[in-house]
Each structure stands twice: as structure tokens, then as C-alpha cells.
Amino acid sequence: MSKDSEEPAVDLLGDPLPEMSPPGRQNVKRGRAATVDEHERSHRDFLTEGETARLLTAAKAGRYGARDYCMLLLMYRHGLRVSELTGARRADIDLDAGRIWVKRNKDGLSTNQPLQGDELRALRAYLRMRKDYLPWLFLSSQGGQMTRQNVNYLIQQAGVRASLGHVHPHMLRHTCGHVLANKGTDTRLLQDWLGHRDIRHTAWYTRTSSKRFEGVWQD
């Protein structure tokens, strides 16, 4: 495990938390039964909008809160895979135009996507703290490029602080798809937003959208 993975966790009040056990073992070590919410969420591979808000709030409370919050917010809004996040460069961000170049992996469609106001504020707050000229958008605490292990660990930490149990990075991509599908986003537009090559992957979000079933029993 890298030194980044050993960064102390901080709860929402700023007090140190007990040393964390490996992912998936917190409840066993502490003798705490899973809550009803955690049990219900364990059967979903995405978060609700309320759960996402809790996760983002918890990310702010970490030792590197400005960085972690910004990372998770971008992953959620743009459906980023871990490798797409860690591979992002500062040059991919145009703060003046309010745009981010999302370079998709797996031969997906790369697109220039708009940034919302809270994303721009989060990026500016984080980048103001940077005193280096390294090309990577996000750096580890050791000053190197973020790794998959770094991202996995910080998201797991935020999930525990938010009382969400085990949360993994790809859940934010799925959450993006589900939220946009529930908002009625056109399937083709959603396909391009997520960078899917095969629209069948996108259709899964629209087919499972709760909005589809509203009014089924209405006369």
C-alpha cells in the first residue's frame, strides 16, 4: 500500500477516526451490524442523489478535502472511470470556457463537456493550492500521478465517513448514468456523454430508470 493510502481519516467534525481496516471488513472488526440503508444499498451498484451528496460532503472532510471533493464530483458528473480520472491532465481543463476534455478509454467517444458552476469552483479551489507545474490534473500527497489504488482508498474512506458502507469508484459512473436517465436524458445523448461504443450499455440505464414505470397503473 502506498503512503497515500495511509493518510489519516477525518470525520465531518474534524476528529480523527479509528484506524481503518481493509475494505469490506469494517463492520466485522468493529462488531457493528450493517444498517438497513447499507443492506439495501449493497444490492445496488449506484448511489441515490442523496447518498452522492453525503459522499461528496464526506470527501471534503478528508485530509486533502479540496482535491478529493473535486475528484469525486468530476467522476460523478462526467461518469469517469478511474483510469480516465488518473489520466486527466491540467490542459484538459479550460476554466475560462467552462469545459473539460473527457478522454475516454476502451475506444470510447472522447468529448468536450461543459463544467457546472460547482465544478468550476471546486477546480479553482484545488488548483490554487498547487505550486507545481506537473501535467497531471490530480496528484497524490507524494506529488506523483494519482493511482487506481489511491482513488479506491480515498473513495472507500469517504464511503465509511458517510455511513454508506463499501463504495467503489465505478459506482459513481453508474450513478451518473442512472441520474441522467431518471432526468429523461435522451439515450443517444447519454451514450455520448458516457462515451459508450455500444448503445446497449447505455440502454441499461434507461430501461431500469424508475421514471419509466410512473403511471403504469394510472387510468
Catalytic center residues: 81, 106, 170, 173, 196, 205
Which is it for the CA torsion 78, 84, 85, 91, positive or negative? negative
| Dist CA 111 CA 157 (whole Å) | 30
| Dist CA 77 CA 119 (whole Å) | 9
Neighbours of 180 (CB within 10 A): 21
On whether the CB atoms of residues 152 and 44 are closer than 8 A, the answer is no
E strands within 35-165? 93-94, 99-102, 111-114
Q: How far apart are the first and last CA of the chain?
A: 59
E strands within 82-183? 93-94, 99-102, 111-114
β-sheet bridge partners, residue 16: 10
Name the residue type at position 83: S
Owner of C-alpha cell 473539460: 100
